Amino acid sequence: MEYLEIKGGRSLSGTVRISGAKNAALPILSATLLAGGGFEIDQVPDLQDVRILLRLLKELGVEVKDKGPSGLLLDSEKLESFEAPYDLVRRMRASVLVLGPLVARLGRARVSLPGGCAIGARPIDFHLKGLELMGAKLEIREGFVEARAKRLIGAHIYFDVPSVTGTENLMMAACLAKGKTVLENAAKEPEVVALGEMLREMGAGISGLGTGTIVVEGSRELRPVYCKIIPDRIEAGTYLMAAGAAGGELVIENCIPEHLETVIIKLKAAGLKIKEAGPGRIKVKKRGRLKSVDVKTQPYPGFPTDLQAQIMVLMATAGKLSVVTETIFENRFMHVAELKRLGADIRVEGRSAIVRGVKYLYGAPVMATDLRASACLVLAGLAARGTTLVQGLEHLDRGYEKMDEKLAALGARIRRVRQKGDISRDCT
C-alpha cells in the first residue's frame, strides 16, 4: 500500500502550475467518438480517471497515441464495439459519457450502469430520459443499459436539476441528431462550455453555452479537430486553499481566474489576500488566523461541491463558527470523521456541517474515502502540528496530477511511502 507522510506546520512559497481539467478532459475525449479521423488533444492531465477512459476508448476501437508531454492523438474512424463493460464503468462512473456519442454515431450502445458511489446514489436517469425523448429505445438488462436508435431526433429536454455529465452526454448526442434539441435548466459549468466549444469546432450548431438553455442544431456528420483542455479550476482552488491551510505565499499559474470567482470571494471573506498576477496567474497570501465564513455548495457559478471538503479544512482552524452546507450530493461529508481525528470540532446536522474553529489540528493517520476528501486530508496534514499519514491514495491519484510532488516543490514536507499492509488501523 501507499500513503502520504506529511509533516505539518511548514508554510508554502513559490509557483505551482495547474494541469488540464479532469472534468473537461473526460467529456472531450469521449466526444472523439462522434467523428472519424484524427483528433489532437493537448493539456490532457495524467490521471487515473483519464487512463481508465482511454482504456475504454481503445476497447471501443479508438486508436490512441501519445504526442509529447500531455498531448494525445486519437482516431475513431474504425469503431469496433459499442459496449462499455462493468469493470471500467464501476471504476470510473464518468465512463457513462460514451453513451450519448455511441448511440448517436453507431445507432447502438451498451453501457454498464455505474451504481452508487461514496458521495451519493448518483443516478443517471436524466441521461436516459433525455435519450428516450430523442427517440432511443432503451432496455435495462443484466446491469447494462442498451440504447438503440436508427438516428436520434431533436427534442425539448428539461433537467429537474442541472446535471454536468447529463448535459454533456445529451449535448454530444444532439450534435448528430436530426433537427434541433433544446436543453433546459442545463449545467453552466466551464467544463460544459469547453465541450460545447469543441463540438462547435467539429461542425455542430450550438448556442446558449454557459446559460441554462443550450440549443443544438444536429448535423449528419462532424469533423475531427484540435482541442486544448482548459486548466483545472478545482485543482487551482485546492492550491489556493493549500496556502490558506499551510500559510505562506503562492502564485498559481495556468488558471482562469473567472472560473474561480465565487471561490475567491469566499476565500477573501475568510481573510486570504488574493489578486491577479498577470494573465492566467493568481497570487495568494495568508496573514494571521482566518475568519469563519458560511459556505453553501451550488451548481456553477455557485461554490463548487468539489471544493467543499477542502474549504472545511480552513474553517476547522478559523476564528469562530461556520456552517458548510452541501446541496449537491447527499453523502459528501465522509471527510468530517477523519478531520475530527485530527482534532477538528465539527458536527453534521442533515446537509450542514457546523464547524467550530480550533486553534490547532494535530497529525494522525487518516483514510481518504473519495477524491476531494483525499485532497482535504492532505491540506489538513499541511495545517496540522506533527505527522499526518494519508491513506487511500488511489482516490487522490484519480484527480490530482502529482499533488505530492507539486506540494513538495512549494516547500511542504510531504513524501509518498510504499509499504506492505495497513499502517495503523483497519479501514475496510
Please give the positions annotated as active site: 117
CB atoms within 10 A of CB 78: 9
Q: C-beta of 95: minimal distance to ligand EPU in Å? A: 10
139 by Cβ neighbours in 10 Å (0-12 / 13-18 / 19+) ranks as: exposed
Q: Is 319 helix (H, G, I), strand (E, B) or coil?
A: coil
Q: Is 38 helix (H, G, I), strand (E, B) or coil?
A: strand
Would you say 361 or 393 has its CB closer to ligand EPU?
Answer: 393
Would you say 286 or 372 has its CB closer to ligand EPU?
Answer: 372
Q: C-beta of 12: minimal distance to ligand EPU in Å? A: 23
Among positive and negative, which fits the CA dihedral 340, 293, 23, 253? negative
423 by Cβ neighbours in 10 Å (0-12 / 13-18 / 19+) ranks as: middle
CA dihedral 230, 233, 239, 240 (to 10 degrees): 130
Would you say 106 or 118 has its CB closer to ligand EPU?
Answer: 118
Tell me which residues touch ligand EPU (CB under 6 A).
23, 26, 94, 120, 122-127, 161, 163-166, 187, 191, 305-306, 328-329, 371-372, 399
Would you say 56 or 384 has its CB closer to ligand EPU?
Answer: 56
Q: C-beta of 124: minimal distance to ligand EPU in Å? A: 5
CB atoms within 10 A of CB 222: 22
Q: C-beta of 234: minimal distance to ligand EPU in Å? A: 6
Would you say 212 or 319 has its CB closer to ligand EPU?
Answer: 212
CA angle 156, 158, 162 (to 5 degrees): 140
Q: Are 44 and 70 in contact (CB under 8 A)?
A: yes
Q: How far from 63 is each of 54, 66, 176, 407, CA to CA, in Å?
A: 9, 10, 22, 35
